[in-house]
Amino acid sequence: MTAAADSTSVAPRRRLPPRAGDGAILVTGGTGTTGRLLLSWLLYEAQASRVIAFSRDEQKHHDLLQDPQFQHPALYSMVGDIRDPRRLREAMEGVSLVLHTAAMKHVPIAEANPSEAIRTNVEGTENLIRAARDAGVARIIAHSTDKAVEPSCVYGATKLAMEKLLVAADLDSGRDGSRFDILRHGNLIGSRGSVIPMFLEQKKSGRLKVTDPEMTRFWIDPDSLISAVHQVVIDGRGGEIFVPRSPAARLATVAAAIAPEAVIEVIGVRPGEKMHESLTSRQEASRIRLFEQHLVITPPASGHLRRHDGDAVAADFCLQSDHGPWLDLQAMQTLLSSELVCSHDL
Ligand SMILES: NC(=O)c1ccc[n+]([C@@H]2O[C@H](COP(=O)([O-])OP(=O)(O)OC[C@H]3O[C@@H](n4cnc5c(N)ncnc54)[C@H](OP(=O)(O)O)[C@@H]3O)[C@@H](O)[C@H]2O)c1
């Protein structure tokens, strides 16, 4: 069954609120793993009237438009680069909500090409903020990563800069200006170029290259990610960082779930990588409001929109991937059987 057919059989529970859903919705990086998930949700479940997928590579646009799942009258594809302010401004005409996923995200590639990562992840975000303001876009929600928390790599540092730019932009917006929020999350199960498709490919040779079996990461499945985005659209007040409370797993568990018979070759931690990730830091604890499924990091100066709902947390609170809660082997196998992972052509 395709994801589109799946989505149509689901009750339309994750609709868009009026201010964000009045105009078109722009998905930067709309041809990527997260972008395509968002398109599917927006077209079939949220029933948006106009959705624009924005990214550079024309082949990815071609593949998107050839995919039966995306042959939908409300979908528009637009070739463009977030480094190009003029093109971004054109893309934002008539847009009420921007979901910003476009990024350079590979840790080793960003380490080797830091200035390129800065141009896309930092300067691209500055362009996005200006274009959104010029076009009067109501809501902007950007995807960030646990690697932005006390970053050890160029990728994480650029995503931290992205978060800071957006929080500051929101503060500058005043009461009626564009609202900027962030969704910070761990590894998306099965996303392009990540460890899961890599292990699935290596499985064919009977050998898996594992950086360190004890390395831990947070994992989020596609449906939980969409629910988290929807939560920010519904509940974001501007300048806030939403963090879904996700489970973690050791790399050894991921390897065993994918290829239990394979020989494990330990290759060591790569430059810029951490053994464990954090979704929040101790420095953020005083600004956290805790909810059942997620937490919100409020902006340093939250003014008239200050949030009093949710629970405060202890001063030493932080979410670390080596503290769990854990995905065991069976839970990881269940997640791996999801459609996104099965859709890898392996
Ligand atoms: N995947 C994860 O596990 C994960 C975890 C946490 C956070 N995130 C964040 O989620 C977002 C999406 O990740 P993903 O895994 O979906 O990435 P992805 O599959 O690599 O997709 C990235 C998308 O961005 C586009 N893009 C890259 N540079 C661009 C530019 N300069 N201008 C316009 N479009 C550009 C790419 O298309 P073109 O190359 O054709 O332009 C592609 O459509 C990123 O911001 C990432 O930091 C991902």
Domain ranges of the chain: 3-186+221-245+279-314
Question: Which of 6-20, 109-123, 127-141, 305-319 comes out lowest in average pLDDT?
Answer: 6-20
Instruction: State the pLDDT confidence band at 7, using cuts at 50, 70 and 90.
Output: very low
Q: In angstroms, what is the span from residue 123 Cα to ligand 1's centroid?
A: 15
- Whose C-alpha lies nearest to ligand 1, atom 36? 29
81 CA closest ligand 1 atom index:
32
Measured from CB, residues less than 6 Å from any atom of ligand 1 are 28-29, 31-35, 55-57, 60, 81-83, 101-103, 105, 120, 124, 143, 145, 159, 185, 187-188, 191-192, 194
Alpha-carbon span 120 to 105, nearest angstrom: 10
pLDDT at 306: 77
The mean pLDDT of the chain is 93
Q: What's the full length of the chain, in residues?
A: 346
pLDDT at 8: 46
The residue among 302 and 179 whose pLDDT is bigger is 179
Q: In angstroms, what is the span from residue 260 Cα to ligand 1's centroid?
A: 30
DSSP string, 81-149: -TT-HHHHHHHTTTEEEEEE------HHHHHH-HHHHIIIIIIHHHHHHHHHHHHT-SEEEEEEEGGGS
Alpha-carbon span 288 to 146, nearest angstrom: 16
Q: What are the phi and psi torsion angles at 216 (to 5°)?
A: -120, 150
Catalytic site residue from 60, 147, 159, 274: 147
Instruction: State the pLDDT confidence band at 190, using cuts at 50, 70 and 90.
Output: confident
Contact 190, 332 (CB under 8 A): no
Alpha-carbon span 219 to 190, nearest angstrom: 10
Q: Does residue 81 register a pLDDT over 80?
A: yes
Q: Residues of the chain with pLDDT > 70: what percent?
A: 93
Instruction: State the pLDDT confidence band at 305, using cuts at 50, 70 and 90.
Output: low
Instruction: State the pLDDT confidence band at 340, using cuts at 50, 70 and 90.
Output: low
Instruction: State the pLDDT confidence band at 193, using cuts at 50, 70 and 90.
Output: confident
Region 3-186+221-245+279-314: CATH code: 3.40.50.720
Q: Residues of the chain with pLDDT > 90: what percent?
A: 87
Mean pLDDT of 171-187: 94
pLDDT at 341: 67
Give pTM, 2 decimals.
0.95
Alpha-carbon span 236 to 257, nearest angstrom: 36
Mean pLDDT of 267-275: 96
- Whose C-alpha lies nearest to ligand 1, atom 11? 101
Mean pLDDT of 306-310: 88
Mean pLDDT of 127-136: 98
Instruction: State the pLDDT confidence band at 2, using cuts at 50, 70 and 90.
Output: very low
- 147 is a catalytic site residue: yes
pLDDT at 302: 64
Alpha-carbon span 185 to 163, nearest angstrom: 13
Instruction: State the pLDDT confidence band at 174, using cuts at 50, 70 and 90.
Output: confident
Q: In angstroms, what is the span from residue 288 Cα to ligand 1's centroid?
A: 27
